[in-house]
Structure 1
Amino acid sequence: MNVLFVLYGDLSGNSGVPLKLHARELARLGHDCAVALPPGASTEDGDPIAGLRIASYAEALAHPASLFADGRPADILHAWTPREGVRRFVAAYLATRATPWVIYLEDNERYLATTSLGLIGMHEETILQHTEDVISRWTPDGMPHVLRHDHFIALADAAVVIQDKLRPEVPPWVPCTTVMPGTDLAAFAPRAPDETLRRAYGVDDGERVIVYPGGLNDFTRPGIESLCRAVGLINARGRPCRLLRSGPVALDFLHRLPPQVAQFVRDLGALPRAELPALYALADVFVQPGKNHPFEDLRLPGKLPELFASGRPVVLPDTNIASMLRDGEDALLHRTGSPEEIAEKCLALMADPERARRIGEGGRRFAEKHFDPRKQAAILEEAYRDARAAFDPQIAARLWTGASQDEALPSLVARRIRLLADAGNPNGEMLRAHASALEFGVARARGLEAGMAWRDAEMIKRDAQIEEIRGEVATRDGHITNLQRGVSDLNARVAELGHVVASRDLEIQAHQRQAEVIRSSLSWRVTRPLRALANLWEAARRRVRGDQRRP
């Protein structure tokens, strides 16, 4: 078979390690493997697998047959998780050639989708208040789409899950197989510790070593800090102990820890994979911190297969694959993830070397049973064969068209399960009923989005009207301001005139006082008869003049 893996990121990421191991073992089984990587991902691989061809999405879409030695395109697509970039690639690929495809699940995709949107302020309780277009604009290609990833899973010809707890994420019409990640059992086989390396990493004679290989992010930070504090407690109880941590992103909280805790933590940074087996051999105990959580429960940390294979006792939370383990025989389980509980588990192992040895050997047997890459590749190969055998190219051709890339995914799922029902699926009536429910949901969503679009348009109109009214109000406010200025000017003029009138009133009063003085004087009284004669004389003259004017 020609197998084309479709990865969402770099091969150097967490998913790249198990993918390359699957490719290596499939090649041993006679299959030809290639991997398509998204734009921006490096096509260089520092730990290459012989025969694994690496191509970009664009190259794989443009020249699908050039990826394989026999000059044919892929016989099967292996979509590595339902991330949005992977979904678009698969839709584009299937639109040009009918090919069976398998979806691979390794995480709680819904948690990843909602958390990713939460980082930009679109919190889970408000996500459904946004349209699909808005959510799409804020969903990176490397993350699942909160409204699309589950429908993408429902379109697959088969599903492969990393652990059984992910099976409920797969709808019943999609065949599902559990394929656990393999690990290099030879590279990580138990070995004696390198004393020179112990000294190079600053481990003192007599100190016990806890090894934790893992990256730092917002999700892992609380657990790693609890582990560091547990190491402080172990030392405080008289057992010299040092934590050797490796992984990308430096521990950014060490300065917040008490000095008597931080001094026992050695942050080695990201080590080359070739150096990890020697680091693991220094461990007296491995600790996977954390606690039961919706995200933690549906994943399988990539380090666990390597830790179990190394033959040292592993202390891990009672979540994800813990139900497959025998507590006290294959591993030790912690329930709360608190520093006190982790310290207690580690101290118990350090105090009983024989028990620690037995648990480490039990973990190694568990790895050989569940993480053998050859066994897991054989299971994966069988899943591929079953998918190809059940594949109906006519259904695929009717489902995956150029137009389907822009079609709502629930509509595609409804069409697919109707086609399956029409092809004689024994659960045909149930599939048709489910298709009807999906179609109603799509119609309802479109109606709601149309209503939202109409309301948005009305709001835009009203906003424009409000702005127009605001403009008119601003204009009138300007007029009022001008009138107020005029009134102020008039008031100032009135006040000025008031001052003038008051001044004139004072002058008149002064004149009246002067006249009163004159009238009350002796000369005024003596000359009164003369003034009376003058008045009579003036009146007589006016009468004479009047008589002369008559004809």
Structure 2
Amino acid sequence: MRVCFLAPELLPNQGGVGTYSVEILRQLAGRVDLTVLTPLRQRGTEVYDRNRLEEYFGGRITILPISEAHDTFRYNLAFQRAVRRYLGREGRQEKFDLIHSQHAHMPDLLVRKVDRRSVATVRTMHTTILGQRQGIRIARELGGRLESSERWQMTLAPILGMAERSILRRPHDTYIAVSEWMRRELVALKVPSDRIHVIHCGGDPERFRPDLRQPDRLRSSPERRTVLYPGRPTLVKGAGVLARAIPQVIEQFPNAEFVFTGGGAEEFLRIADLAPDVASHVRFLGYLPYEELPQVYAAADLVIAPTYYEDFPIRILESLASGVPVVASEVGGIREVVVTGSTGTLVPPGRPESLARAIVDLLGNSELRARLGAAGRKRIVEEFS
């Protein structure tokens, strides 16, 4: 079988879609004939070109960077156009049997037919445009400034919504919902239920393991306890509510330390406007190599995801696989893996007092953290690996 895999995110991956793409390609490599279309990415002076990407996957996949990606919302359109050009020009020779697309990036938005054929399309639904817009709207109403990509999403919301509806109406596509919650959202958007298959995202318990734990890797001093926020702190991902919760946590637990991985440091500090004595408890590590993430997760005492809208975040699965408990918002598919009192704590979205209380309760109870972490890893191994 010849498969064309559309990867709007890949190494160095920007988020959950990138992680999903990397891991599924690792599993598929050598089992099917794979051609991956992806934007060319650069981090600092490092360029992730075709040779570097193909080498990462052992030379068993053809990877074609067909556009350029920057850390902005607009690169999606350039990638969509490049996908249309490639499949319109090369599709005649390649004779693909299947296209695997990632939503809500909509990389196949402009593709109708390949070589005048309606090639079967499988679309993994990580999120929806409608859901993202609702989450951003709620986050904005509860206070805070939108990040640049969020402003673009809201500005283009009517156009993006129409584009999404046009994709979801295509009559022969098959959908992978990464949670039961996403399946229900697709049914509400009029996608026939018999074309939806629920396949949860998984964590890799062999890569993410408790035995990798070295707390001093994250702690700035031995007495500190680290709260890890993996990812870009945008408003919809809870940056505003976290900014209001941090001072409350520091007041009640002075040894707490908040560590961020990924971009967005300057944006978050503008949103947070933290007093100097509180800001000294916040550190930003920036983007880290994909290979270092297992050690980073394992070193944390607690991982947080105070989001307003999320389907089934891979970062939560990686945290639990590492034996680290999670404090997360009670939204979306998160409720299918995080259970209060069992694998972590769920809190209402947009409630800084509830978020702060949950963080303090876990930081102050090492036995509870250990019990929740062990139960979380067990659940990943048995149900979500």
Deviates more, 1:345-354 or 1:260-269: 345-354
Q: 1:234 offset after TM fit, Å? A: 2.8
Partner in structure 1 of residue 303 of structure 2: 286
In the alignment, is the contact (CA less than 8 A) between 1:7 and 1:35 conserved in 2? yes
- Amino acid paired to 1:36: L
| Structure 1 gap segments, 5+ residues each | 68-72, 128-134, 136-144, 373-551
Which residue identity does 1:258 align to in structure 2?
Answer: A
Query: Does the alignment pair 1:102 with 2:122?
Result: yes
Give, in angstroms, the shift of residue 357 of structure 1: 1.0
Question: Are 1:209 and 2:210 matched, yes or no?
Answer: no
Deviations 1:38-80 (A, max 9, x none): 699975455832322112334454334876xxxxx32221122
Confirm or deny: 8 A CA contact 1:244 1:267 kept in the other structure: yes
Change over 3 Å in CA distance of 1:279–1:180 after alignment to 2: same
SS at match of 1:22: helix
Q: Say whether the 8 Å CA contact 1:82–1:153 is kept in structure 2.
A: no
Look up the SS of the partner of 1:328 in the other structure.
coil
Q: Which residue in the other structure is 1:328 paired with?
A: 341
What is the distance in 1 between the residues matched to 2:98 and 2:90?
Answer: 16
Tell me, yes or no, if structure 1 residue 32 matches structure 2 residue 33: yes
1:287-309 CA distance string (max 9 Å, x none): 11134xxxx15x22331221111
Contact 1:232 1:264 in 2 (8 A): no
Please list the CA deviations of residues 141-183 of structure 1 after superposition, one character each: whole Å capped at 9, or x if unmatched: xxxx322322322323311112122224252265111122233
The one-letter amino acid paired with 1:161 is: A
Cα deviations across residues 375-415 of structure 1 (Å, max 9, x unaligned)?
A: xxxxxxxxxxxxxxxxxxxxxxxxxxxxxxxxxxxxxxxxx
Which residue does the alignment assign to 2:74?
none
For the residues of structure 1 that align with 2:182 and 2:242, how far apart are their CA atoms? 28
Partner residue, 1:310: 322
Q: Tell me by how many angstroms 1:346 deviates.
A: 2.0
1:319 aligns with 2:321: no
Question: Quick check: 1:113–1:146 contact (8 Å CA) kept in 2?
Answer: no
Structure 2 match to 1:448: none
The structure with the largest helix share of the pair is 1
**Does 1:18 pair with 2:43?**
no
Q: Displacement of 1:195 after TM fit?
A: 5.5
- How far 1:359 moved relative to its partner? 0.7
How far the C-alpha of 1:337 sits from its partner, in A, is 4.1
Q: Which residue of 1 aligns with 2:377?
A: 364
Partner AA of 1:230 in structure 2: A
Q: Is the 8 A contact 1:231 1:242 kept in 2?
A: no
Structure 2 residues not aligned, in runs of 5+:
43-47, 67-82, 137-148
The structure 2 residue matched to 1:230, chosen from 241, 245, 253, is 245
Cα distance change, pair 99–280 in 1 and its aligned pair in 2 (3 A):
same
Letter in 1 for 2:302: V
1 CA distance for matches of 2:261 and 2:234?
Answer: 14
Q: Which residue number in structure 2 is paired with residue 54 of structure 1?
A: 63
**1:239: Cα distance to partner?**
4.2
> What is residue 344 of structure 1 aligned with on the other side?
357
CA contact (8 A) 2:239 2:268 kept: no
Structure with more relative contact order (C-alpha pairs < 8 Å, separation 6 or more): 2
In structure 1, the partner of 2:161 is 146
2 CA distance for matches of 1:240 and 1:120?
38
> CA RMSD, aligned part only?
3.1
* Cα pair distance change 1:66/1:194, threshold 3 Å: farther
SS in 1 for 2:108: helix
Aligned ranges for residues 121-136 of structure 1 at < 5 Å?
127=158, 135=159
Distance 1:191 1:40 in 2: 32
Q: CA–CA distance in 2 between the matches of 1:106 and 1:181? A: 9
Q: Secondary structure, in 3 states, of the residue corresponding to 2:374? A: helix
**Is the 8 Å Cα contact of residues 7 and 79 (structure 1) preserved in structure 2?**
yes
Shift in CA distance, 23/341, structure 1 to aligned 2, threshold 3 Å: same
Q: Secondary structure at the match of 2:176?
A: strand
Decide which of 241, 249, 260 is 2:256's aligned counterpart: 241
Partner Cα distance (1:163, 1:194) in 2 = 32
| 3-state SS of paired residue (1:88) | coil
State the Cα distance separating 1:205 from its structure 2 match.
2.0
Question: In 2, distance between residues paired with 1:118 and 1:226?
Answer: 18
The one of 184, 200, 209 aligned to 2:204? 184
| Change in CA separation of 1:40 and 1:163 when aligned onto 2, cut-off 3 Å | same
- Write the distance in 2 (CA, Å) between the matches of 1:205 and 1:59: 53
Which residue of the partner structure matches residue 178 of structure 2?
A: 162
CA distance in 2, matches of 1:63, 1:349: 55
**Structure 1 residue 19, shift from structure 2 partner:** 1.4
Tell me the CA shift for residue 113 of structure 1.
6.9
Matched residues in 2 for 1:190 and 1:319: separation?
A: 27
Aligned residue pairs: how many? 336
How many angstroms does 1:26 deviate by? 2.4
Q: Distance in 1 between matches of 2:28 and 2:167?
A: 26
User: Whole-Å Cα distance in 2 between the matches of residues 205 and 117 of structure 1?
Assistant: 38
The aligned residue for residue 535 of structure 1 is none
Given that 1:189 and 1:311 are in contact with CA atoms closer than 8 Å, whether structure 2 keeps it comes out as: yes
Q: Report if aligned partners of 2:331, 2:349 keep a CA contact under 8 Å in 1.
A: no
Residues 503-545 of structure 1, C-alpha deviation per residue, up to 9 Å, x if partnerless? xxxxxxxxxxxxxxxxxxxxxxxxxxxxxxxxxxxxxxxxxxx
For residues 77-116 of structure 1, what are the structure 2 equivalents within 5 Å?
77-81=99-103, 83-89=105-111, 91-93=112-114, 95-112=115-132
TM-score where L is the length of structure 2: 0.76
SS in 1 for 2:209: coil
Q: Which amino acid aligns with 2:33?
A: D
* Cα separation, partners in 2 of 1:240 and 1:13, compared to 1, 3 Å: closer
Distance in 1, matches of 2:359 and 2:287, equals 25
Provide the rounded CA distance (Å) in 1 between the counterparts of 2:256 and 2:217. Answer: 16
Q: Given that residues 316 and 333 in structure 1 are in contact (C-alpha distance below 8 angstroms), is that contact kept between their aligned partners in structure 2?
A: yes
Report the equivalent of 2:80.
none
TM-score (norm 1): 0.55
